[in-house]
């Protein structure tokens, strides 16, 4: 689904950037341009970023538990 219509950024693209190491809105904005035009997408983009970081953290914690 499109999150940022101005720049044509999808939720999938945001998730891919997070998987590649993006951890902040500043980093996301720098590499995608999300939120740099009208700003209507920043809340949703931030929520997707947050959710993906939480999922990564949970996956890392589960991996650490299974290895221990």
Closest CA to 8 of 30, 32, 38: 32
Domain with residue 61: its CATH number is 1.10.10.1100
Give the count of domains, the chain.
1
CA distance 55 to 41: 21
Range(s) of the domain holding residue 22? 2-67
The pLDDT tens digits for 30-43 are 999 999 999 999 99
CA distance 41 to 32: 12
pTM: predicted TM-score of the whole model, two decimal places: 0.87
CA distance 8 to 23: 20
The pLDDT tens digits for 7-66 are 999 999 999 999 999 999 999 999 999 999 999 999 999 999 999 999 999 987 776 666
């Amino acid at each position: 689904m499109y999150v940022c219509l101005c720049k044509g950024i999808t939720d999938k693209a945001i998730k891919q950037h997070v998987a590649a190491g993006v951890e902040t809105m500043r980093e996301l904005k720098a590499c995608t341009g999300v939120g740099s035009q009208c700003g209507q997408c920043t809340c949703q983009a931030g929520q997707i970023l947050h959710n993906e970081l939480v999922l990564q953290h949970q996956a890392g914690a589960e991996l650490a538990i299974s290895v221990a």
